[in-house]
Amino acid sequence: MTHLAPRTAPRRVVVISTGGTIASRWQGTGYAADASGGEVLAQAAVPDGVTVEVVDLFNVNSSSMTSARQLTLLRAVHEALADPGVAGVVVTHGTDTLEESAFFVDLHHDDPRPVVFTGA
């Protein structure tokens, strides 16, 4: 049994927003992660035939990504992939700890659908 959505149906992707530079905006004295996942997604080109569901999980600078937050992120990825209609997951993340979070999720990822990390 495959977990991938049929090609004729629109593909659903879940974007999990965690903050970082990709979600940072000028605060008058510096930048801080405060944009929602929807605000970040509004700057992206979404291909035709793809629908996106945004999960605003965190809105923290990447240096504040703790082990507890990584566990919460892992649970959110698993929850998104529990839906067989989801074609994949994109995690927006700060670059300071993106590698560590991606590695942690990869260690516990056995689903054939992709989990992609991106930052700015």
Side-chain-facing half-sphere of 30: CA atoms under 13 Å: 4
| 29 counts as catalytic | no
Residue 43 belongs to what H/E stretch?
A: none
Catalytic residue among 2, 18, 21, 95: 21
CA 109, 3, 114, 39 torsion: positive or negative? negative
Q: What's the rounded Cα separation, in Å, for the pair 14 and 47?
A: 14
66 to 58, 98, 104: CA distances (angstroms): 11, 12, 12
Residues catalogued as catalytic: 21
